[in-house]
Structure 1
Amino acid sequence: MSADRELARDRAQALELAPALRPFVRELALYEALLRKWQKSINLVAPGTLPTLWTRHFADSAQVLERFPNVEKWADLGAGAGFPGMVLAICLRERPGAKVHLIESDQRKASFLRAVSRETGAPAEIHLGRIETELPKLEGSVDAVTARALAPLSQLVEWSRELLLKSTVGVFLKGEDWAIELTDSKVADNFQVRTFASRTHSSGRIIAIARDFGV
């Protein structure tokens, strides 16, 4: 199979896995082009994932919003290349008042994120700095905190604890070790926990954490 056909198949599969992406194909194509351009000088994603960029990164990110469709104000910790935060922002671009705050400590990656936000019109605000410094400033401004491939669950909860105790929801994408991380973190001792199967990784889970999910 040619590279172009492989990429087209990957895109089609992503749109099937995550229907929330479908209205924003043009914006995501701009995102893809920028990522491939910047990837030449900055290690934004693992090179081996580029042929499956749409399923591995775009669809994987979008499923977070599909699980929590009513959340419009997010904080993405250690945003990196923008997954899941920038994808969430693109999918929320037509909702008045929606905003995604992306926290990133690397100057070059923050510049990349600003370029993507500018070119796609995504309602994203980039915060250059460390999580423990920037996240407390967002208390009261976000309804959910998310992260992907960043740190163990215990660390994510520690960073987010003050917000989680005040009605913010944590929504974290985890891989095959999710059950071990969940046990080690002892998060269930203090918060309610819900887990959802990942659509893009057979052994992955989306772990949602809150003081009280309500009904």
Structure 2
Amino acid sequence: MLNREDESAAEAAAALAGVVVSRETRDRLVTYVGLLRRWNPSKNLVAPATLASVWTRHIADCLQLVTLVPEAKIWVDLGSGGGLPGLIVAAVLAERPGAQVHCVESKQGKAAFLREAARVMGVPVTVHAARIEDVVGRWRGPVDVVSARALAPLVDLVRLSQDLLKSGAVGLFPKGQDVGRELTEAAKYWTLDTVLTPSATDPQARIVTLRGAAPVPS
């Protein structure tokens, strides 16, 4: 049985993120949070201190990404860890025909959590338990969005996702208060086509939407 308090929290998180969710999507989010709480002590999926504010700190923060590319169906999440944002995106995209979220996570313990959570939630997720470079390097087929949250500096995210960006994917990279510094550093190596969107969950944070990146001539 789902927790009534979590049901209300899920609806509040969706409203904060600007996402309209069905009852089924709400229930998938509640299921995810229950699994996260259960697995976190053994798998260290998120910082334990953040669980007290999980609905804002993690769920709403990830849900807002869906609004930036609303037509997306094929989504690749790099360094998925505990499924943030991959599993949260999948909870929304589950009602979209043909949607598929690919979660790339090299750590086997976290990949096991991703598989089990996707199964229990009933979401369209493929887990790639391999290095990002290996998965992206052999990728074939269209991708609408490539994302990464709390994974690496922007300059490294551009490098890791470059092949997908060149094929037409949009990059979505949530960043904190150092986003300006990260953009300056990345601009030394890449000519970037970016839009910064204020985060709904943190006034100092921004979401970097990247629609193109070309190497700066040496």
Question: 1:171 Cα deviation (Å)?
Answer: 0.8
Normalised to the residue count of structure 2, the TM-score between the two structures is 0.89
Question: 1:6 Cα deviation (Å)?
Answer: 8.6
Q: Quick check: 1:21–1:62 contact (8 Å CA) kept in 2?
A: no
- Alignment-mate amino acid for residue 43 of structure 2: I
Q: Quick check: 1:100–1:124 contact (8 Å CA) kept in 2?
A: yes
Q: How does 1:150-169 map to 2 (within 5 A)?
A: 150-169=151-170
Question: 1:12 Cα deviation (Å)?
Answer: 5.0
Partner Cα separation in structure 2 for residue 158 and residue 198 of structure 1: 24
Q: Deviations over 1:105-142 (max 9, x none)?
A: 11110010011110111111000011111122334331
Does residue 72 in structure 1 map to residue 58 in structure 2?
no
Partner in structure 2 of residue 91 of structure 1: 92
Normalised to the residue count of structure 1, the TM-score between the two structures is 0.90
Partner Cα separation in structure 2 for residue 121 and residue 75 of structure 1: 18
Partner Cα separation in structure 1 for residue 118 and residue 4 of structure 2: 28
Alignment partner of 1:57: what SS? helix
Partner in structure 1 of residue 50 of structure 2: 49
Rate the CA distance shift 1:92–1:12 in 2: closer, same or farther, 3 A.
Answer: closer
Does residue 28 in structure 1 map to residue 14 in structure 2?
no
Partner Cα separation in structure 1 for residue 6 and residue 170 of structure 2: 34
Q: Deviations over 1:50-87 (max 9, x none)?
A: 01111111110011111111111111000000111110
State the identity %. Answer: 42
Alignment partner of 1:167: what SS? coil
Q: Quick check: 1:21–1:91 contact (8 Å CA) kept in 2?
A: no
Partner in structure 2 of residue 14 of structure 1: 13
- Alignment-mate amino acid for residue 202 of structure 1: P
Q: Deviations over 1:163-196 (max 9, x none)?
A: 2122111110111101110111017952311110
- Alignment-mate amino acid for residue 87 of structure 1: I
Partner Cα separation in structure 2 for residue 116 and residue 12 of structure 1: 20
**What are structure 1's unaligned runs of at least 5 residues?**
none
Q: How does 1:1-215 map to 2 (within 5 A)?
A: 10-11=9-10, 13-20=12-19, 22-23=21-22, 24-186=25-187, 189-211=190-212
Q: Quick check: 1:143–1:168 contact (8 Å CA) kept in 2?
A: yes
Cα RMSD, aligned residues only: 2.1
- Alignment-mate amino acid for residue 21 of structure 2: R
Partner Cα separation in structure 2 for residue 175 and residue 144 of structure 1: 20
